[in-house]
Amino acid sequence: MKEIAVGSGIALVIFLALIGVNVTPFVLFAVVIGGFYFFMQNQGQVKFDEVGGSNRATSVISFEEIGGQDTAIKELKEALQFLLHADAIKNMGIRPLKGILLVGPPGTGKTLLARAAASFTSSAFIAASGSEFIEMYAGVGAKRIRQIFRDARKKAMKEHSKSAIIFIDELDVLGARRGSHSGHMEYDQTLNQLLVEMDGISKDDEPRILIIGATNRADMLDPAILRPGRFDRQVQVGLPDRVGRRRILNIHTRNKPVEEPHVLEEVARATFGFSGAHLESLANEAAILAMREGSKTLQAHHFMEAIDKVMLGEKLDKKPNAAELERVSVHESGHALVSEMLDPGSVASLTIIPRGGALGFMRKSPRDDQYLYTRAELENQIMVSLAGALSEELRFGNRSTGARNDFSQAWDMAREIIEAGMSSLGIVNIDDLPAEAFYNECRHIISALEERTREILRNNLGIINRVAETVMEEEVLNQSRFQELVG
């Protein structure tokens, strides 16, 4: 029909020109309309095999190469059975899953899991980001949704695969609650089209289609996308525990000459809260540090410095003056001393080398991952946070602005004590608690702990001075050196 229309138009223009009619306005009008049509067509076309996240499918990865996510892998494998055993699933009358939602913090391996799922099921794999579907032009996002489903089917047929997996990263961009984008209905139209396409997936489709979405903001998603029959399963992809971190470090150091492999156990213990991406970066930074030193192997101090770099950033060129350096050393020594007094062996390192936004840093070394805290443990953390400013006060007679973040952390922990029902207020709903009562209780908790912390520091001021003088000379104290000074 397009060819007939174009041919008829050209014939009409030629006829009008032959009979003496000025055809210039008609030609210009046709050029404008044709250009606009071509532009809109290109806006709607995206080669999902070549752009965005789809290039992540070029390398094959298996579940065995993903560490620290055993539970998530087990759940995902169970959900993938309908692709592997379609006939058995059909005989049992089981409706195949249409969508799997991977939920977890950034850097935990959601993309790797989707790629491994494609390898596990021998499926064609197409990936895209939620932002690739959103445009300012009406209808473009919906067209791209239809296109990615067509592309998935074509790719599966081309690769002679019986199934295809469509991976959509940052699903919260595409699937946010309808009506949350005021004045921009394109978001809602795109989401509606995704829902329609998912509803159209049938158990008799050939090839079979599975949608895997990934987000770290599941609370933002529209309820319609989460209901059974669309994204049927939610797989939690959380931060790895200590055993998981050890496995991840093994994976990322396989091609690196680690001098003492047992040091990875200490690194895993000291990196509570690190994601897989953090650990990969840590291993890479340790290798860079070793290369800078001309070392042929990665040693323990390379990993420990890499931990500080990943947590705080690169060393800064700025150098505090002598008075500021002395204050920073006293401040950090106070943190370290109180931490050691309350929990012996908890100080991993102490430094006054500026990194990121910090002029100094005391890094703790947890013995094991901890997810629950008693009031006493939270109070100890508050005391450690207050110790820096109080050390300055005892040594110099005043405080500095360097304790601002410490006080913020102390206040947050006091808030946690109240919210958990461990304060004198008892069990409370923080939303219904009057602001004045909340403030007074936080102030009461922190004031009492401030006195306890000041007493510890006053009784050990000589040790603080000794540690501060040493760290000013050596810049960095490791755990054994610090404990030697503390005695």
What whole-number distance in Å separates Cα of residue 102 and Cα of residue 237?
Answer: 6
| Helix (H) / strand (E) containing 361 | strand 361-364
Catalytic residue, from 332, 340, 392, 441: name it. 332
With tokens 């070394």, the residue in question is 365
287: Cα separation from own chain's centroid: 23
Instruction: Evaluate whether 360 touches 316 at the Cβ level (below 8 Å).
Output: no
What whole-number distance in Å separates Cα of residue 387 and Cα of residue 403?
Answer: 9
Q: Determine whether 332 is an active site residue.
A: yes
What whole-number distance in Å separates Cα of residue 377 and Cα of residue 414?
Answer: 11
What whole-number distance in Å separates Cα of residue 11 and Cα of residue 399?
Answer: 88
Tokens (6 digits) for 455: 């007493």
Return the CA Rg of the chain. Answer: 30
Instruction: Evaluate whether 99 touches 232 at the Cβ level (below 8 Å).
Output: yes
Instruction: Evaluate whether 290 touches 429 at the Cβ level (below 8 Å).
Output: no
27: Cα separation from own chain's centroid: 54
Q: Which of 214, 210, 215 has its CA nearest to residue 80?
A: 210
Tokens (6 digits) for 104: 């977890």
Cα torsion 171, 177, 181, 187: sign: positive
Residues classed as catalytic: 332
